[in-house]
Structure 1
């Protein structure tokens, strides 16, 4: 459980700037496209770390890698606290991505390995819930502090920096779970490792993860602008709450996998993602806040169902010595979803407007998730996973 809290603290920092982008746009005078690029820099950094060092914690141990991740999280907070121009935002997002990249595979594997005998399923839920719960707490914390407390561009990062320091102290008191460690010099960049037993479920599972994270990427990067410009809702706490709702709904979806089963959770998650995309299309065309919230709830639940199902399936099919590397491969696909489509929305916002860009995004994601659901219905995940 303590490992999950550390994971959540780190992930909260990655979404902390979400409700503040409007302030930064006015302060530093940049466009909506720049917002999406600033946001996506984080995801590109995550992908780079996962590709270059996705299995580093398998070699040197979980604790050292997690401590390095927390160090980058602290450095990111310092960048935002020092921000006097756009360059600081890029640096802060880059460092945040390095932090998340190091922690994603290592912390997920660490939480699972710290579980008592027979507790692997619950530990998987704790790991994925810590990931999504942390992502949800970031915009909620920043929105509330920015709306109701002084220094809106500084206080959220100062508070998070304090949490990161406490998380580091917790990690120092936890046990290491990697028995046979190797020198850092033995770690080499490599392609994402997919053992033969994982490949059957990886394709459709990764596609669902891609769409779910893409939906979250759009919510996190451009929904505050949509709420402010189209719905005239400028309360930062409300903006943070709407974004957080999607992540918290994801946790509810993840918690349902134990009752539904991994095999059924993937196609059901795809169906819920499709429904969430449809609701988002309705929100964009009708400009109704209730539809935005409904999209966050339904789409978030679908992301949780599909993502925990995907993670459980690939983790169970992976050899222990390659588990972090396989998990990292899944996250490479997921974080590609949270970056490339988001920048696409930013590019299209200029000629099409935010509504038109959003509808193009929804159409593309609907095609992908429908294809994944169709594959899973033809070739279900084995019931034993």
Structure 2
């Protein structure tokens, strides 16, 4: 899932005399973010294959996804400001190394326990990296521009889409269906280490490490708790959809398409995340309120289409609905995050961002586990219908919650 960027003050000057100029460092940082998000969705097309191989239930499948989201949340809360203290480059180097270890654990996993371990390591690495990357994008972006936040959102959506499609194709056609994708990623991350080493370090003043390791307590802006709670339904709506599509979505698509089921599973995530990322790029000038107002009916229509597709057994209806849902998902996420961060006072931005992360990742993980339980007890069709009804209700509430917000 895409990670909201931290709101940061004006960047300090970078140190002169290093290999990469600022524009190249900005591009390298954006590519690195996309690479981490490619890795985040790579396991999605493999989940059905893992289920067949190790005979675990749908609830275990969704728990594998949930531990990844929880690990990202823990990393953001504990180490979200680490790069402000010790520098961007050391944090990114460490995150890339941990990500490589996680890819190896997933690629050579002999049982489902290794999947849990690999996804925890991957979540920790991704959480630490995206925090540092969001700061670096703001550090390296052209002065006076808004390219950092734009690249953050677009790279996240496109990265997740590329990861799921590439993994689906490799699982379907390459030898070693659960290994090849991870070997490709290990090589790509190893190559990215050279780019990180060549980046200038934009944090000139280092502070004690013990200050960086203090957890950031999530906070709601004083006197704005009710407004925050209402607007947080936008995160609930968008991240519930994202969590379901990345955990159970490929299994739903696999049941609708007989040929090339793993490629189809990858396309499921791509239809949502890729379309959502492109939507944010095209409509980046929209206000938060406008984005949410347009997003809600699109999400409800898309969810109705997803429900109809499993009832009639139509893959065409499912993917058409996923595209509509992707447009709504991208707008809901973009608009909700803009409005929620707009509530924060300058001195409480980090704490408010942390609270947004708590809502977002709980919204991605808890409903996914609940749907896994429903799928195990009542079947995948029942779980999909329950998901569509619940997410549509969240979307409606999110739209109503923005009526009085300015």
With structure 1 as the length reference, what TM-score do the two structures score? 0.90
Query: What's 2:188 paired with?
Result: 163
Q: 1:107 to 1:210 in 2, by over 3 A?
A: farther
Q: CA deviation at 1:125?
A: 1.3
Q: CA deviation at 1:48?
A: 1.7
Gaps of 5+ in 2: 1-26
Query: What's 2:271 paired with?
Result: 245
Query: What's 1:383 paired with?
Result: none
Query: What's 2:326 paired with?
Result: 300
Q: Residues 102 and 121 of structure 2 are in contact (CA less than 8 Å); yes or no, is this contact kept in structure 1?
A: yes
The CA RMSD over aligned residues, in Å, is: 2.4
Is 2:364 aligned against 1:338?
A: yes
Q: Residues 105 and 327 of structure 1 are in contact (CA less than 8 Å); yes or no, is this contact kept in structure 2?
A: no
* Aligned ranges 1:125-274 → 2 under 5 Å: 125-186=150-211, 187-195=213-221, 202-274=228-300
State the Cα deviation string for residues 175-210 of structure 1 (Å, max 9, x = none). Answer: 333344322211311322455598787544432123
Query: What's 1:374 paired with?
Result: 400
User: Partners of 2:346 and 2:88 in 1: how far apart?
Assistant: 13
For residue 42 of structure 1, the aligned residue among 43, 48, 68 is 68
Q: For residue 310 of structure 2, give the secondary structure of its aligned residue in structure 1.
A: helix
User: Partners of 1:80 and 1:306 in 2: how far apart?
Assistant: 32
User: Partners of 1:321 and 1:203 in 2: how far apart?
Assistant: 20
Aligned length: 379
Is 2:59 aligned against 1:33?
A: yes
Query: What's 2:112 paired with?
Result: 86
Q: CA deviation at 1:104?
A: 2.9
Q: 1:256 to 1:203 in 2, by over 3 A?
A: farther
Q: For residue 377 of structure 1, give the secondary structure of its aligned residue in structure 2.
A: coil
Q: Residues 257 and 308 of structure 1 are in contact (CA less than 8 Å); yes or no, is this contact kept in structure 2?
A: no
Query: What's 1:357 paired with?
Result: 383
User: Partners of 1:231 and 1:57 in 2: how far apart?
Assistant: 45
Q: Residues 12 and 135 of structure 1 are in contact (CA less than 8 Å); yes or no, is this contact kept in structure 2?
A: yes
User: Partners of 1:171 and 1:285 in 2: how far apart?
Assistant: 49
Q: Which shifted more, 327-336 or 44-53?
A: 327-336
Q: Residues 50 and 332 of structure 1 are in contact (CA less than 8 Å); yes or no, is this contact kept in structure 2?
A: no
Gaps of 5+ in 1: 381-385
Q: For residue 232 of structure 2, give the secondary structure of its aligned residue in structure 1.
A: helix
Query: What's 1:17 paired with?
Result: 43
User: Partners of 2:230 and 2:259 in 1: how far apart?
Assistant: 37
With structure 2 as the length reference, what TM-score do the two structures score? 0.86
User: Partners of 2:194 and 2:200 in 1: how far apart?
Assistant: 13
- Greater helix fraction, Structure 1 or Structure 2: 1
Q: Which shifted more, 246-255 or 302-311?
A: 302-311
